[in-house]
């Protein structure tokens, strides 16, 4: 072998060695990605996932597909995620309640808190305390007075038993000395239908589903559990403003992976997601759903927040003797 050939051979071997030594994220992803959504098309999680998929495709240089697997309060989507290879190419967009609320509301074959790892928070929002048009109350003070004037006769809806929508009503009862009865539903649409129809007086609901009905004059909105007023409803006070600081609660949507996905792949996804969330068009699209930008949080901070929320949810439900279905 002549000198020139030896040099080419040595260069090729050196290049191969460098490629082998390169960090795993340098090759990730090496095929299309899939975002599993445990909710039907058209909902908040679906819109967020599709918005994220467009941005991630640009950032990662691979197609990113959205796969809707609705049902069982997100459990079907979670099971779909856990069946996929643990290489970071399949992720999940879900509300935080899948980890902090649903395990207390349903008897599950697995523990989402152990199975999942938060990669990034996408956006967050407070819930809205809404009333049907027939309720003679224009604010929280009048709502409390109305409930007390009708002991044992006033009820509130939740979009799922054991959810934040449920326990916020329990907290309001405790703080205000009221006795609203809880009526659990399978989702916001049927619950809101009964609130509008006068079958149930009140509900704590997310803005994406309730704001259209508020704008149409079918619902009254009395307060928000967010720490600050919502941009879409600037005239609606927070519960904290009204003296109910313990009713300051937010729900957030996040990107999740199986806990055993390699850390390098998690870091690459987190980096790409952060860049997507910085884009003005993405922020505008989320804002149109009544969602606020996510604060900067590490996966460890998100995991701790989930455990804290889970403990609080468990305590609230235990206090009223709630049993998982």
Domains 25-124+251-319 and 128-247 share a fold: yes
Contact predicate 55/82, CB 8 Å: no
Task: Identify the residue with better confidence: 38 or 239.
Answer: 239
Instruction: Give this prediction's pTM.
Output: 0.81
Arithmetic mean of pLDDT over the chain: 89
DSSP string, 282-314: HHHHHHTTT-EEPPP--HHHHHHHHHHHHHHHH
DSSP conformation class of 253: E
The Cα 140–Cα 222 span in angstroms is 6
Q: Identify the band that residue 288 occupies on the pLDDT scale cut at 50, 70 and 90.
A: confident
Contact predicate 243/2, CB 8 Å: no
Contact predicate 79/72, CB 8 Å: no
Convert the pLDDT of each residue in 215-229 to its tens digit: 999 999 999 999 999
Convert the pLDDT of each residue in 302-318 to its tens digit: 999 999 999 988 888 88
β-strand pairing of 250-258 with 116-126: antiparallel
The yes-or-no verdict on residue 265 having pLDDT over 80 is yes
Cβ atoms < 10 Å from Cβ of 21: 8
The Cα 297–Cα 312 span in angstroms is 20
Domain 128-247 = CATH 3.40.50.1860: no
Provide the CATH topology of domain 25-124+251-319.
D-Maltodextrin-Binding Protein; domain 2 (3.40.190)
Helix (H) / strand (E) element for 53: namely: helix 44-60
- To the nearest whole percent, how much of the chain has pLDDT over 90? 72
Q: Which of 213, 202, 126, 201 is nearest to 164 (CA)?
A: 126
Q: Identify the band that residue 12 occupies on the pLDDT scale cut at 50, 70 and 90.
A: very low
DSSP conformation class of 161: T
CA distances from 16 to 8, 9, 11, 19, 108 (A): 12, 11, 9, 5, 47
Which residues are within 8 A (CB) of 27 and not within 5 positions of it... i.e. 6 or more apart? Answer: none
The Cα 158–Cα 320 span in angstroms is 15
Mean pLDDT calculated for residue range 20-47: 79
Domain ranges of the chain: 25-124+251-319, 128-247
Q: Identify the band that residue 11 occupies on the pLDDT scale cut at 50, 70 and 90.
A: very low
Tokens (6 digits) for 88: 């970071």
Tokens (6 digits) for 28: 């990730």
The Cα 229–Cα 266 span in angstroms is 33
């Amino acid at each position: 072998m002549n000198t020139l050939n030896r040099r080419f051979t040595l260069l090729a071997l050196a290049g191969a060695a460098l490629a082998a030594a390169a960090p795993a994220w340098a090759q990730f992803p090496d095929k299309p990605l899939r975002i599993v959504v445990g909710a039907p098309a058209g909902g908040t999680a679906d819109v967020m996932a599709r918005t994220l998929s467009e941005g991630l495709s640009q950032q990662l240089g691979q197609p990113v597909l959205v796969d809707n697997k609705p049902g069982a309060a997100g459990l079907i989507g979670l099971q779909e995620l856990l069946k996929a290879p643990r290489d970071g190419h399949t992720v999940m967009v879900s509300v935080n309640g899948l980890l902090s609320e649903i395990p207390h509301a349903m008897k599950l074959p697995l523990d989402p808190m152990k199975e999942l790892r938060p990669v990034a928070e996408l956006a967050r929002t407070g819930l809205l305390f809404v009333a049907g048009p027939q309720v003679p109350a224009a604010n929280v003070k009048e709502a409390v007075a109305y409930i007390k004037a009708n002991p044992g006769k006033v009820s509130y809806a939740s979009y799922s038993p054991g959810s934040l929508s449920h326990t916020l009503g329990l907290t309001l009862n405790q703080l205000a000395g009221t006795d609203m009865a809880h009526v659990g539903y399978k989702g916001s649409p049927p619950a809101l239908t009964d609130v509008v129809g006068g079958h149930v007086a009140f509900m704590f609901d997310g803005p994406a589903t309730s704001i259209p009905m508020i704008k149409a004059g079918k619902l009254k909105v009395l307060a928000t559990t967010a720490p600050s007023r919502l941009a879409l409803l600037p005239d609606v006070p927070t519960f904290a403003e009204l003296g109910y600081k313990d009713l300051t609660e937010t729900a957030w949507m996040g990107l999740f992976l199986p806990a055993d996905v390699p850390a390098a792949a998690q870091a690459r996804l987190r980096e790409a997601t952060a860049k997507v969330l910085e884009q003005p068009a993405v922020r505008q699209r989320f804002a149109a759903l009544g969602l606020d930008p996510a604060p900067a949080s590490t996966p460890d901070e998100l995991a701790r927040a989930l455990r804290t929320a889970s403990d609080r949810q468990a305590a609230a439900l235990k206090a009223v003797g709630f049993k998982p279905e």
